[in-house]
Structure 1
């Protein structure tokens, strides 16, 4: 029979003989590999990997391999793989056992694809440098040219991980603990170190299988409770891939001293704020982060809305729509460089209050904010965010009612346009433009005042209960600066406030004119209304010096004409108000009023020389006859009505030159 089989083989075609030979050879190879004593290759593998990577690699106890058609399963019983000499930690990985699947065919192209990696009691030392070197890059070149394995699923039990990236301000140590009794999240972790230069602590749980960059695998659960500096975060949800933090679906709570502190941590350029506490849902798909259902508070103000952060372009883009039912004025201070007030500093439980405004003292009674505005972060991203406040409270000196603003940031240019504020029953609207691509920043403000109610703008008038009238005006200022104070100290442009007819209680103008006869009439007859014919307060502004162009208030009983300047650089005031009564009266000691001091500490008084002249005349006549002394205090009157049409026309037109040019540049802040 053997002879017959041999004859059959001999009689077959050559191609059949070749196929039979290949099959027999493959079967022999499979049988040989299945029973191959892989551990005998342990030392050759140790030497080969050490030579190729330039660092010591050792399988300390046993090597075993299970082969498949597309991939192999490699098992190391004890492994030590050293880090490069420049690394802080001696080992990249050191573990009691390691097991991983490796794709066979990509190895032909020198690509390492590891769908699954399991480490038992590992210690990992991961480090990256500013020049691109990474300890996990395999090969003697550990920069971007090194071979970096692609890892899908990673399974870890009790162990420790160190990660160092000095150029990023990151130095973290994580301890891992595995316990199957913890349900779907058996792996717990504790992290301590520094992140972005700030102290960081974190703890939480996760599934025992982490998806580094495995596509198509189900998301794994994760919890975290972290604190970086004064920022605290709690989150719970699922993550699809760790390598790019992709496929995130989580609920989160975050709080801290200021939203501005998130810039170094997350790269999102948010403004300085009062202490905050926010919660919502967080999702990430590809390069797009979304925070939806936001709700919480900034200081004493509530806030809600949705935000999106897209990192697809070279400059990331922030967009959103936020709203406050009630916004507290004290929470606006940090936006212009003022610390939070004592009312807002301690509003968030568990967050240390920042330094408050009561702890900051300015020399010379100055009040304009001098804190540097951080324009650098304006160049870090683009943005388009709308904010609306339905009601504004705690307004004190400026009776704001409501407000909304569209914030746009493009290539370092920040615009607040449109900006709409409800003030004293009227509106303050316009635009502010900050070009942070220049140093110092080019800042322009163009704002219009419409229909503000006199009674609400001046509380002393409101208390009379019979004050009516409205104010209109504009602010067009442009200049360069790095703080609110030094910008105002160098601005040029036009400021004007005008009013048509109205009326108000006569107490204020009576005392302003110091007309004694009118005071007597007020005491005998009580308060009566005074008609306002017109008023105009207009300034030409040249490099921070506000010079009165038109300073006139015309009432039925007096005309007030003022001259003078306000220096925004020194915050000094220097005005003289000359009242001209329109009726004869007795017991007048009328004399020009002087307004001096600073914006933070204004002082009022009378000019001494005219007042002394009247006093000396009264004394001289009184020496002859006491009744004649009254002659020196008789106000002859009458003051002449001003040309209201001419007054308002003059107030509406800035003087040619620096003021007009500055006003024209400021108007360019508005959208065409």
Structure 2
């Protein structure tokens, strides 16, 4: 088989010559790049950058460039770059030396990509305007995002930064110092300024190389001790990207006077709280913030759990699970519009209580005209800033005073401006209160509805002082169904309508207490001599029709085997006043009885209980008249013939279960509807 003819010598020589020329050209270019007098281009570069940016740019001493295949390394010995005329600081950057890498091919796409930037003794003046203009945008249009360089690693030594962001109400000055003897954290920084009108300061340390954007490098270490007004945050950990804190993984501690005040800074609608001290592991990946192993105190209560805040959704979402081993009732005041008590305000070390709070506490307790219902306007505007789904459980509740709460749990859901507490479950007096509360903040005033059921509460725990009289009560059931509008708890109750009722069946009741309430002197003397004993409680019912803030007594009855009590009257939630009359009808005969109606009236802050004067005066006049004939006959005026009869408990309890007025029925029905929020499932 014939073989292919070999290439002719002239053709081979042409290929060799062409290869030599290409190689020589490449070598010449490399030699040119290596030995090119780049500093001769310093003046043209100064003019070109100044013309393109519309502000003065100057390499003050020397220019050098090292070319690579994908990027170039540019070195400036002395640099001054002016800010736009509208900026506060005259210079964007002034530095003894500057060195940066710049990507060739990104320039063709009108993008400035600087994978690395090194500054020696820099002074930076950064400013952001509310209209989007930035001093570090390098085009003539400083609001055009295409002119903002993308910077990867940044390394600084001694220097300073001034930063002004009017939209965020942030104005700060930072000083840096570099010392290699500090190990992994050689850069110290100190920050002073103001944030939203409050003084701000911070100190800390970082690694010598900071990452403004992701460049595939490992996270760098960072420490911070930050103070804004009375709020303090300390943290230690690592962060992958400084520009948006992506890849943050740090152990943080925070304390301050009120979590609700963090809303402007964080955009998270946290509740109003007493002073707090919290710690946990803070992480950020993309738009997801997480706090793991959260623990600490809210006033006198402990708190723990895990939380997540997702900003990637169209409406940011807060989720998590929280729990308290012990929750103190004083700490709930700020949540419903009350100031923290002196106990709660002084509970967190390192956070000063508001000045004079102890005196304010004392003055309020001693002021009979004070308002009891919280009247502070609740900030419902924040409820539209995010959605939420958070569960909370308190294993034990303390400092409950008259109301013996045992434990509690609630699921807090916020969807499109509608807040629901559902299910809400409270352990009270060995029973429970369960139901839901709904606040529609899309309306003004807010539409608020409460539907709560009371089941199996022990009466002797509701009135613990009676236990000294060896009382053994029955079990109490009831309900609260109220709906209305208002931007505070007081305003809502003053406009609410619905049904409030509490009822109980058979049980035991102290006869001695009963005779005191009935003003039966003869029976009291007998029991003091012979000893107290319990009488049968046949039934009891307290039920009100609520119409636009006025609670009208529908059924007020207390029936025992000894006496039946009938009540009438009303409670005004707007004026915070009450006027109730209780009439006794004994079922037995007795002497020394001063049977006269009991009256409870006055304000919520200073209720007053006493007997009706007119009936008592009538008995007194009769006694005086009979005493004029014979002193012993005066006792006749105090003889009780016992006209009381057993109540029809079935009828009483049935009546107490149903609102009678039209407005009360409509309000109760609306409260129990609890419609699904718009957009919800």
Fold match, TM over 0.5?
A: yes
TM value normalised by structure 2 = 0.95
Q: 1:525 to 1:542 in 2, by over 3 A?
A: same
Q: 1:358 to 1:316 in 2, by over 3 A?
A: farther
CA distance in 2, matches of 1:608, 1:94: 90
Match of 2:110 in 1: 110
CA distance in 2, matches of 1:656, 1:14: 111
Match of 2:222 in 1: 222
Match of 2:257 in 1: 257
8 Å Cα contact 2:110/2:146 also seen in 1? no
Match of 1:4 in 2: none
What stretches of structure 2 of length at least 5 have no aligned partner? Answer: 1-7
Match of 2:502 in 1: 497
Q: 1:243 to 1:547 in 2, by over 3 A?
A: same
8 Å Cα contact 1:65/1:75 also seen in 2? yes
Which stretch shifts more, 190-199 or 18-27?
18-27
1:627, CA displacement in angstroms?
2.2
Match of 1:359 in 2: 360
Superposition CA RMSD, Å: 1.9
**CA displacement 1:208-240 (0-9 Å, x = unmatched):** 100000331011000001111221111101101
CA distance in 1, matches of 2:663, 2:212: 62
Q: 1:126 to 1:363 in 2, by over 3 A?
A: farther
Match of 1:605 in 2: 610
Match of 2:472 in 1: 467
8 Å Cα contact 1:103/1:114 also seen in 2? yes
1:468, CA displacement in angstroms?
2.5
8 Å Cα contact 2:457/2:475 also seen in 1? yes
Q: 1:271 to 1:16 in 2, by over 3 A?
A: same
Correspondence 1:666 to 2:671: yes
1:420 aligned to 425, 449, 459, which one? 425
CA distance in 2, matches of 1:273, 1:473: 31
Which stretch shifts more, 282-291 or 624-633?
624-633
State the secondary structure of the residue aligned to 1:167.
coil
**CA displacement 1:501-556 (0-9 Å, x = unmatched):** 01122232211111222222222222111211100000000110000010111111
1:599, CA displacement in angstroms?
1.0
CA distance in 2, matches of 1:363, 1:458: 23
Match of 1:149 in 2: 149
Correspondence 1:49 to 2:55: no
CA distance in 2, matches of 1:110, 1:146: 7
Match of 2:533 in 1: 528
Describe how 1:435-514 pairs up with structure 2 within 5 A. Answer: 435-514=440-519
8 Å Cα contact 2:474/2:504 also seen in 1? yes
CA distance in 2, matches of 1:480, 1:513: 41
Match of 2:649 in 1: 644
Match of 2:91 in 1: 91
CA distance in 2, matches of 1:366, 1:577: 25
Correspondence 1:376 to 2:381: yes
Correspondence 1:635 to 2:636: no
8 Å Cα contact 2:111/2:146 also seen in 1? no
State the secondary structure of the residue aligned to 2:500.
strand
8 Å Cα contact 2:368/2:605 also seen in 1? no
**CA displacement 1:249-283 (0-9 Å, x = unmatched):** 11111111122122122122111112111111111
8 Å Cα contact 1:195/1:265 also seen in 2? no
Q: 1:14 to 1:664 in 2, by over 3 A?
A: farther
8 Å Cα contact 1:454/1:461 also seen in 2? no
Q: 1:605 to 1:466 in 2, by over 3 A?
A: closer
Q: 1:80 to 1:574 in 2, by over 3 A?
A: same
1:363, CA displacement in angstroms?
7.6
Match of 1:125 in 2: 125
Describe how 1:253-292 pairs up with structure 2 within 5 A. Answer: 253-292=253-292
Match of 1:245 in 2: 245
Q: 1:296 to 1:144 in 2, by over 3 A?
A: same
State the secondary structure of the residue aligned to 1:271.
coil
Q: 1:9 to 1:620 in 2, by over 3 A?
A: farther
Match of 2:5 in 1: none
Match of 2:3 in 1: none
CA distance in 2, matches of 1:165, 1:508: 70
State the secondary structure of the residue aligned to 1:449.
strand
Correspondence 1:68 to 2:68: yes
8 Å Cα contact 1:378/1:436 also seen in 2? yes
1:19, CA displacement in angstroms?
6.5
State the secondary structure of the residue aligned to 2:395.
strand
Match of 1:77 in 2: 77
Correspondence 1:407 to 2:412: yes
8 Å Cα contact 1:321/1:385 also seen in 2? yes
**CA displacement 1:584-624 (0-9 Å, x = unmatched):** 11122211111110111101122222222121111112112
Match of 1:3 in 2: none
